[in-house]
Amino acid sequence: MSLSPADPSGGLSPPAGPIGGEADPLLGWRREFPILGRSRYLVSHSLGAMPRRAEARLHEYARTWAERGVRAWAEGWWTLPLTAGDAVGRIIGAPPGSVVMHQNVSLCQSLVLSCFDLSGPRNGIVCEELNFPTVLYVYQAHAALGARLHTVKSDDGITVPLERFLAAIDETTLLVPLSHVIFRSGAVQDVAAITRRAHEVGAYVVADLYQSAGTVPVDVTAWDVDFATGGSVKWLCGGPGAGYLYVSPRLHDTLRPRMTGWAAHPRPFAFELEHDWAEGAARFQHGTPGVPALYAATGGYEVVEEVGVDAIRAKSMRQVALLIALAEENGLRPRVAGRPAERGGMVVLDVEHGEAVTRELLRRETIVDYRPGAGLRISPHFYTSDDELRGVVAEIRGILDEGAWKAHQRDGGTGF
Ligand SMILES: Cc1ncc(COP(=O)(O)O)c(C=O)c1O
Q: What is the DSSP string of 163-181?
A: HHHHHH--TTEEEE--BSB
Q: What own/partner pairs with CB < 8 Å and gap ≥ 24 does 190-195 have?
A: 190/162, 191/223, 191/225, 192/222, 192/223, 192/224, 193/162, 193/166, 194/162, 194/165, 194/166, 194/169, 195/223, 195/224, 195/225
CA distances to 17, 114, 231, 328 from 297, in Å: 25, 26, 10, 36
Q: How far is the CA of 210 from the centre of ligand 1 (A)?
A: 6
Kindly state if the Cβ of 211 falls inside 6 Å of ligand 1.
yes
pLDDT score recorded for residue 409: 81
Residues 309, 216: Cα–Cα separation, whole Å: 7
Kindly state if the Cβ of 244 falls inside 6 Å of ligand 1.
no
Kindly state if the Cβ of 179 falls inside 6 Å of ligand 1.
yes
Do the beta carbons of residue 344 and residue 194 sit within 8 Å?
Answer: no
Q: pLDDT tens track of the chain, all 416 residues? A: 444 333 333 333 434 444 555 789 999 999 999 999 999 999 999 999 999 999 999 999 999 999 999 999 999 999 999 999 999 999 999 999 999 999 999 999 999 999 999 999 999 999 999 999 999 999 999 999 999 999 999 999 999 999 999 999 999 999 999 999 999 999 999 999 999 999 999 999 999 999 999 999 999 999 999 999 999 999 999 999 999 999 999 999 999 999 999 999 999 999 999 999 999 999 999 999 999 999 999 999 999 999 999 999 999 999 999 999 999 999 999 999 999 999 999 999 999 999 999 999 999 999 999 988 889 999 999 999 999 999 999 999 999 999 989 999 877 665 66
Kindly state if the Cβ of 106 falls inside 6 Å of ligand 1.
yes
Do the beta carbons of residue 285 and residue 261 sit within 8 Å?
Answer: yes
Kindly state if the Cβ of 104 falls inside 6 Å of ligand 1.
yes
Q: How many CB atoms lie within 10 A of CB 411?
A: 12
pLDDT digits over 12-71, tens only? 343 444 455 578 999 999 999 999 999 999 999 999 999 999 999 999 999 999 999 999
pLDDT score recorded for residue 416: 64
Kindly state if the Cβ of 105 falls inside 6 Å of ligand 1.
yes
Residue to mutate (ligand 1; options 44, 105, 236; most atoms within 8 A of CB): 105
Nearest atom in ligand 1 to the alpha carbon of residue 231 is 9
Q: Residue 213 corresponds to which amino acid?
A: A
Kindly state if the Cβ of 231 falls inside 6 Å of ligand 1.
yes
Nearest atom in ligand 1 to the alpha carbon of residue 233 is 14
Report the candidate in 123, 81, 76 with the shortest Cα–Cα distance to residue 245.
Answer: 81
Q: How far is the CA of 350 from the centre of ligand 1 (A)?
A: 22
What DSSP element (H or E) covers 293? Answer: helix 291-307
Buried-exposed string 41-51: b where 16+ CB fall within 10 A, e elsewhere: bbbbbbbbbbb
According to DSSP, the β-strands at 124-128 and 173-176 are: parallel
Nearest residue (by CA) to ligand 1, atom 16, is 183
Q: What own/partner pairs with CB < 8 Å and gap ≥ 24 does 116-121 have?
A: 116/174, 116/175, 116/204, 118/142, 118/145, 118/146, 118/147, 118/174, 119/145, 119/146, 120/146, 121/172
Kindly state if the Cβ of 210 falls inside 6 Å of ligand 1.
yes
Residues 415, 370: Cα–Cα separation, whole Å: 8
Beta partners for residue 40, in sequence order:
366
Global pTM reads 0.93
Kindly state if the Cβ of 41 falls inside 6 Å of ligand 1.
no
pLDDT score recorded for residue 374: 86
Nearest atom in ligand 1 to the alpha carbon of residue 103 is 9
Do the beta carbons of residue 44 and residue 379 sit within 8 Å?
Answer: yes
Kindly state if the Cβ of 298 falls inside 6 Å of ligand 1.
no
pLDDT score recorded for residue 291: 98
Q: How far is the CA of 68 from the centre of ligand 1 (A)?
A: 34
Nearest residue (by CA) to ligand 1, atom 6, is 105
